[in-house]
Amino acid sequence: MSVLDIRVLGDPILRQETKVVETVTEEHRRLIDDMFETMHAAKGIGLAAPQIGRTERIAVVDVQGGSQPIALVNPEVVQSSSDTDKSEEGCLSIPDVYGDVERPSRVTVRALDRDGRPFEMEADALLARCFQHEIDHLDGKLFIDYLSILKRRSALNKWAKARERYPDNIRRLTLEEVSEHHRDEEL
Ligand code: ZN
């Protein structure tokens, strides 16, 4: 498995529509494994294909620090609650920028798993939020799109300074981050 470079805000791929996966192949499984590895190394709880420069409708989610990894191929929200929650979100592609986003509190997601088998999962709380955030990525949508004009402006101002650290819109995890992750995994 390998840790991949993460694309940050400014890379046009983050705004592109993704393509439905017709058949889940061995190559997709390798991609999914690399996405989990990258997400864990970056200490994220979700990662979508465009964030690592790919255009497949694939995302990975793990809100419990490695104990509940969920691969999502062609995911869609088939049901969402009318009641909503507002909570702070961040994104591996917009490091150091956070904002409150209101979303349905519960969703049912339909997808294929790593082996191409269809499944449905009901989620609430953080997992529901994470599913929605990642599926948005597959539609070229980012959490900052939900912020009010003023809050988005202040987020983008913050980002304008932060992005200098990511030449060519690429966030390459440092050796320390990657090896620290490997140490964690060994424990
Ligand atoms: Zn994100």
Active-site residue, selected from the candidate residues 122, 134, 185, 186: 134
User: Phi, psi at residue 48, to the nearest 5°?
Assistant: -115, 150
CA torsion sign, 172 to 177 to 182 to 185?
A: negative
Domains of the chain: 6-177 (3.90.45.10)
Q: How far, in Å, is the centroid of ligand 1 from the Cα of 56?
A: 16
Q: How far, in Å, from the CA of 168 to the mean position of ligand 1?
A: 18
Residue 182 to residue 19: CA distance in whole angstroms: 32
Q: Is the dihedral of CA 163, 168, 169, 172 positive or negative?
A: negative
pLDDT higher at 181 or 121: 121
Q: Are the CB atoms for 10 and 163 separated by under 8 Å? A: yes
- pLDDT per position as a tens digit, 69-114: 999 999 999 999 999 999 999 999 999 999 999 999 999 999 999 9
Whole-prediction pTM: 0.94
141 C-alpha to ligand 1 centroid (Å)? 9
CB 45 within 8 A of CB 63: yes
User: Of the ranges 1-5, 130-134, 178-182, which is most confident?
Assistant: 130-134
- Is the CB of residue 18 less than 8 Å from the CB of residue 52? no
Dmax (CA) of the chain:
45
The reported pLDDT for the residue numbered 130 is 98
pLDDT class for 174, splitting at 50, 70, 90? Answer: confident
Q: How many helices (H) and strands (E) does the chain have?
A: 4, 9
Active site residue 22: no
pLDDT surpassing 80 at residue 186? no
Q: How far is the CA of 50 from the centre of ligand 1 (A)?
A: 10
Instruction: Quickly list H helices, 16-148.
Output: 26-41, 125-138
Write the secondary structure of 58-85 as one string of H (helix), E (strand) and C (coil): EEEECCCCCCCCEEEEEEEEEEECCCEE
Distance 87 CA to ligand 1 centre (A): 14
